[in-house]
Amino acid sequence: MQVNPLMFRNYDIRGIVDQDLTPEIVEAIAKGYGTLLRRRKIRQIVVGHDCRLSGESFADAFIKGVTSCGIDVIYLGHCMTQMVYFAQYLYQTNGGAMITASHNPKNFNGFKLATGYSQTTGPNEVQEIRNYVEKDQYFVSDTIGSVTPVDREEFKEKYFHDVLKRVQIKKKFKVIVDSHHGSTSVFNPEILRRAGCEVIERFTDMDGSFPDGTPDPTDAKLMEGVAEEVVKQGADAGFAFDGDGDRIGFVDEKGHVLWNDVAVAIFAHEILERFPGSKIIYNTLCSQIVKEVVKKDGGIPIMWLTGHAFIKAKIAEEQAVFGGELSGHFFFADNAYGHDDGTYAVLRVLEYLSEKNMTLSQLYESFPKFISSPEIKIGCPDDKKKDVIANLSVKFKNDFPSAQITDKSIIPGDDGVRADFDDGMMIFRYSQNGPYITVKFEAKDEKTFEERRTYVSTMLHSYPEMIWEDQLCVNLDFVK
């Protein structure tokens, strides 16, 4: 079958609905996944989908395709991504599929595909699926796999129970919850109330057309709206979630947005109190604050590839207790399964605040101070973004010969170039899951920060391939 090869990314599969992805193509991708599973002697999977308008019809097509390979399906229906991972343990199956495009705009959809407990496909496996699809070579089964729908209310209760039993929140917090009409709308306000919180809801009427914009907690404008509500309501904290629930954003009680590298440092600080000397995994987009906090607290910082699949795999390889990303994925291996669960992450920070009897701002006030941009996303075609970064990297390294450079020569397979200075960092990289480039920069004083902002903006504007008016662009105010 002829398909857009650019849908098959380093760990997920994502494309535009009715252009890259149709029910027929979804069925073919499911057959490719089913073939991969059968070659690994996996014969049962769990399947769920988020609230995107194409979710249910794509789930039907996906199930049709994967069961044709003799794979039995436990169908979860609408849920959050972390509930698919949880279902793997609940139903004892290392296969799983979540139909979602996470933080991509409403006209996208895609697949997170599991090949082990809490583990999703890597580059080789994604390309293996692509190969089966393009060659129409699928496992031929003598029997069609079965489909067993779960009782959704019962399944939800089991997930709630499993998450809530892992935390003990000793204070009644007042929190803002912003779902931006995503799938967390029907789960997270309820679970936080059960944890004892007073919850003020924001955009929690679920609507897969995302009428108020894409649910993306890296978007400064979205987070500023949460911050305004925190101050207005006198809340203890504000939390925003992405479309499928595995990523979050934080606002403290003063209305300050905490970019998620600060959150990585907060979680590392808490965990290293209990697991001194442990390894902490973080991605290349994170601020130097993470390394400094981990080292100060006696941990071992390990910077690694950006991407939830890569971070999870590195945590397992290094036997680390925690990992996190600037995008808002947090992975707890101390008292949970080690996969990204935005709901659990929120409960963990509230638990720690209640234990220490501190506010969120007090928790990180002792950390090193940086002036930092958020993660900035600029459109760039999938077939051009790698060449842009490769060309840019040469100039970047020449411009800063005394900086500590991290690129693919340091982290095999890395997708960009990072320069670390005595007073901050800059990074340019191409996205693994969309046609865009991401950048971040920081400094310890305003003058240097503005110099780096100017440098980044000038560098990006020198490439005509960059698309400055695109639905995938986020936080452009920082580089225009």
Strands 279-283 and 300-304: parallel
Quote the CATH superfamily of domain 173-256.
Answer: Alpha-D-Glucose-1,6-Bisphosphate, subunit A, domain 3 (3.40.120.10)
Q: Quick one: pLDDT at residue 434?
A: 86
- Has 102 been annotated as catalytic? yes
CATH level 2 (architecture), domain 5-155: 3-Layer(aba) Sandwich (3.40)
54, 57, 68, 102: which one is catalytic?
Answer: 102
Q: Quick one: pLDDT at residue 478?
A: 94
pTM of the predicted model, to two decimals? 0.95
Q: What CATH topology corresponds to 371-478? A: TATA-Binding Protein (3.30.310)
Q: Quick one: pLDDT at residue 364?
A: 93
Q: How many CA atoms lie within 13 A of 329 on its CB side?
A: 24
Kindly report the number of other CB atoms within 10 A of residue 227's CB atom.
21
In the chain, the amino acid numbered 61 is A
Which token pair is 57? 């019809």
Examine domains 5-155 and 259-338 and report if their fold is the same.
yes
The answer to whether 170 and 191 are in contact (CB under 8 A) is: no
- The full DSSP string for 313-337 is HHHHHHT-SEEE-TTS-EEE-SSS-
Distance between CA atoms of residues 94 and 68, nearest Å: 19
Q: How confident is the chain (480 residues) per 10-residue block, as mean pLDDT?
A: 94 96 98 98 98 98 98 98 98 97 94 95 96 97 97 98 97 98 98 98 98 96 98 98 97 97 97 97 97 98 93 94 96 94 98 97 94 96 94 96 95 89 97 92 98 97 96 92
* Closest by Cα among 460, 381, 448, 382 to 421: 448
Give the domain ranges of the chain: 5-155, 173-256, 259-338, 371-478
Q: Quick one: pLDDT at residue 39?
A: 96
* Closest by Cα among 149, 152, 141 to 67: 141
For domain 259-338, which CATH number applies: 2.20.25.650, 3.30.210.10, 3.40.120.10, 3.40.1160.10? 3.40.120.10
- The full DSSP string for 143-202 is SPPPEEE--HHHHHHHHHHHHHTT----S--EEEEE-TTSGGGGTHHHHHHHTT-EEEEE
Question: pLDDT by residue (tens digit) across 144-179?
Answer: 999 999 999 999 999 999 999 999 999 999 999 999
